[in-house]
Amino acid sequence: MNIVIFSPLATTSAIGRVTTLIVRALFKLGHSAVVVRTEQEPALGVPAHDCETEVLSWTDAGGVELAVRDADALFYQIGNNYTYHCGALHWLRKLPGIVCLHDFLIAHLFAEWAHGRRHEAEAVLRNWYGDEAAVAFFNARSDSEFMDLASRRYPMTEWICSQASAVISHSHWGMPRVAASCAGPLKVLALPYDAPGAARCSARAQDGHARMTILTVGHANPNKRIDSVIRAIGSSEMLARAVTYRLCGRIEAGMAADLAALAKAKGVDLVISGETTDDVLQEAMLDADIVCCLRWPSFESASATTIEGLLYGKAVVVTDAAFYREIPDDCVYKISPYDEVAELSLALEELITDSDQRLAMAHRGQAWAERTFDAELYVAQLSDLARLATAAQPVLAMAQTLIDHLRGWGASEEIMTSDQISRPLTIFGNTHSSESETPPSATAAPTHHDADNRTQPS
């Protein structure tokens, strides 16, 4: 099988790192691939992850068309960041394929795409969410108001999935919107990921006076709940005395100043490392005792940081929501978003003081992650989905032709969804047969967010 993968590859994109793992597994299993980089300028000039195949720019129309001519499947990596995915949006409309959805909320991607396309964007909003959406979506007075509105009412999941011939996600929680908008096959697969330099989990040597380290990785934005971690540490005399809280990842100057002031007021030892090299980030993971991956609201299809923390054999603390809820309960410590600071303070005290519990949980999490987030398993199932998508295409094309004819005759939505029209189409079967498949875990498996808004390739 020959696959063309439309993906960011910049070292600042964790999705790019996922793509390199997929390419490596494709070649190992006897397949081939071409990668089309999808970043905007100047991100196209950012150094790329090492990739063991031909790499094109999405702006190279002739090269892309030539690659697609020999392809058995087209695979689009999509996250909630226009800078990384603008090229994928360009080609997806021309050449539908399998969409790998890394975020169930892609409202920021849509909002950036809408620049210069306001009339078309308003039509999309009306189509999926009604007349009010075309006004409300663009009238949010602040980022927090926009996030609240988009997450509750206008996530734009349907906009992308309706353009796909099939969809892959990495957790189940957002699949109802996917199923409502993509007529092709659907699959939930565990995100392939790795942890360079990881070792078997073990207690970090303490000299009796050294502080233990809690680590948060990624772009420091409000939904990572960094202020809540500081408040939780500061609310406990034992934690404030015993731990250092470290941040690795891009952080705006204003937020850095606010967090530093909060930490000082709460008596918390805060280290803001900012963006770091791969080597420094790996050392930070190895040195950490606890990796804190709170996300609220939670939008990700999967969290690369959480997976990496597990693979590094660390005790990982997560929000009890969305993707994180699907991780086995004995592999992470789950915190309710509705009593966040109090629960987090108790959890951190328990993990810091009980090293046996901390290491046992880390060991279970590492073993589960190593079984689950495997690139070769992912590629094998991707191959199956590609065959299903190809088989579904004639049916989908026929249905689209019928809909176009009905619309051309002026048929209303009520007529097109009536029993007289829809019931005879059931003869073609249900192309959503893969929707309910369970990821490779006894419970379930699974980044503006964790995958693509992380500024560390980890």
- Token pair for 211: 């502080």
Cα 252 from Cα 215, distance rounded (Å)? 18
Going by pLDDT thresholds of 50, 70 and 90, the confidence category of residue 205 is low
Higher pLDDT, 435 or 145: 145
Domain boundary assignment for the chain: 2-106+155-189+375-428, 212-372
User: What phi and psi, each to the nearest 5 degrees, are found at residue 79?
Assistant: -130, 180
Cα 340 from Cα 105, distance rounded (Å)? 22
Q: Is residue 282's pLDDT more than 50?
A: yes
Cα 228 from Cα 136, distance rounded (Å)? 30
Cα 207 from Cα 11, distance rounded (Å)? 36
> What pLDDT is recorded for position 413?
67
- Say which residues have a Cβ less than 8 Å from residue 51's Cβ, sequence separation at least 6: 9, 19, 20, 23, 35
- What is the architecture of the domain spanning 2-106+155-189+375-428? 3-Layer(aba) Sandwich (3.40)
Cα 296 from Cα 232, distance rounded (Å)? 16
Pairing of strands 73-78, 98-101: parallel
- Token pair for 365: 């999490």
Q: Out of 28-42, 100-114, 387-401, 415-429, which region has the weakest mean confidence (pLDDT)? A: 415-429
Cis peptide preceding 328, ω within 30 of 0: no
What confidence tens digit (pLDDT) does each residue in 293-348 have?
999 999 999 999 999 999 999 999 999 999 999 999 999 999 999 999 999 999 99
Give the amino acid at 410. G
404: helix, strand or coil? helix
Give the amino acid at 161. C
Q: Out of 232-236, 260-264, 382-386, which region has the weakest mean confidence (pLDDT)? A: 382-386
Give the amino acid at 153. R
Question: What's the 3-state SS for 305-335?
Answer: HHHHHHHCCCEEEEECCHHHHCCCCCCCEEE
Q: Is residue 65's pLDDT more than 70?
A: yes
Give me the CATH topology for the region 212-372. Rossmann fold (3.40.50)
- Token pair for 88: 């994928």
> What pLDDT is recorded for position 420?
75
- Overall average pLDDT of the 215-231 stretch: 96
